[in-house]
Amino acid sequence: MLVRLSGEEKNYEWGSTNLIQDRFQLGEPNQPVAEIWFGTHPAGESIAAESGKPLSELLGTKLSFLAKFLAAGSPLSIQVHPNKEQAIAGFAREQALGLKLTDPNRNYRDQLHKPEILVALSSFSALCGFRPVSELTEIFLAFSESEERFGSLARNLAAGSSLEQIFTELLQDTKLAARFSKTVGEAESIGNQQNLASKARDLALSLLEKYPGDTGAMVALMLNHLVLKPGEAIFAPAGNLHAYLSGLGVEVMAASDNVIRGGLTPKHIDQAELLEITDFKELIEPLVEPVKRAEGFFEYQVAATEFRLYRAELTGSNLLADLDLPAGAMVICSAGEVAVSTSLEEREVLGKGEVVYLSEAKKFSLSGSGSAFVVLGN
């Protein structure tokens, strides 16, 4: 089976008015488009273009993964996802409280975990995992000249306070968030150089401009701030605190909708649950380095059993023939034109933004001149 899929458009407030529209000619111009979903998730299931049937009906089952185009025109919430045990317990707890699955105050809408990877298609700004303590200390000390609260935090770190303790203080210090733009923001001593502290200050000020007084901007100081180049990726396993700030990317995750938010959003925030779920270890190397599997074929290896993600770079002189298809796969064309063919003599030619799902064949091949992502299910 080789079928073209239509995606489910999500018009969240933080979406971009041009990134998906200009790149893929999807969505209405000048209207925010945040995500296009491809998969069998009940909140946005793909439809087979030719038959008009839901993908799960064609397959007789649901996919273990969900793929998306994601376009952040403004910052998403600082958030974390649970592991399987936490998801099962949290779902049962909210069911016992009688909360409907559509209740905006729910954290858990299913019993699954949600490991996710994002690969940049444009320059992409993101927060991912906790900075090394040495970097955090440098930032706090630079800020301390104009805001003594950060001097206290730096001394606490030096005295052995854990990242969890520092994070909890910043998350709950609404007074610091309220005065940061005035004290640290207007301090001349930090300077305008592109050093670690000045970049961290600029980040917090930009977040406070959109969310005044939000403590999420303070805890953002503790996270690795990355600007990904196209093809670079970050991975958020269970417990990884992260936020996407701006840019266009392809996101692949286990097919769950469990999100615990800690700030930078008008949606439900649950600080207590966030503290319970978050992994407070330093993340020294947040980037996922792709591994070359063949000429023009790269794997993003991550700790997720629900999917495997590859990127294909095709030219007229480079095709990928007779790739194994142990289970179903989704092919997402992100640039140019890519032909997908199977050992069952099926063939579809994809333009950028177009997606197919293939199964039942033993082999498939990719050719053309363009780029594509291949998502293998379990």
Could you read off the pLDDT of 174-213 as tens digits, one per residue? 999 999 999 999 887 775 556 899 999 999 999 999 999 9
305 and 280 within one domain: no
321 and 267 within one domain: no
119: domain CATH number is 2.60.120
* DSSP element (H, E) containing 125: strand 124-130
- Of 288, 310, 325, the position where a domain reaches its end is 288
CA distances from residue 72 to 57, 126, 197, 251 in whole angstroms, order as listed = 31, 10, 25, 12
324 and 206 within one domain: no
Residue 306 counted as domain residue: yes
Do the beta carbons of residue 314 and residue 341 sit within 8 Å? no
How far apart are alpha carbons 196 and 142 in whole angstroms? 9
Catalytic residues: 261
249 and 122 within one domain: yes
Structure tokens at 143: 């800020």
- Of 288, 306, 325, the position where a domain reaches its end is 288
284 and 303 within one domain: no
As for how many domains the chain has, the answer is 2
Structure tokens at 200: 């961290």
321 and 196 within one domain: no
165 and 254 within one domain: yes
User: How many beta carbons lie within 10 A of that of residue 174, not counting itself?
Assistant: 12
Tell me the per-residue pLDDT of 26-41, one tens digit each, with 9 for 90 and over: 998 889 999 999 999 9
Do the beta carbons of residue 3 and residue 357 sit within 8 Å? yes
Residue 14 counted as domain residue: no
197 and 233 within one domain: yes
The more confident residue out of 167 and 30 is 167
How far apart are alpha carbons 109 and 38 in whole angstroms? 19
326 and 280 within one domain: no
User: How many beta carbons lie within 10 A of that of residue 310, not counting itself?
Assistant: 22
Tell me the per-residue pLDDT of 242-277, one tens digit each, with 9 for 90 and over: 999 999 999 999 999 899 999 999 999 999 999 999
330 and 254 within one domain: no
Structure tokens at 246: 């701006």
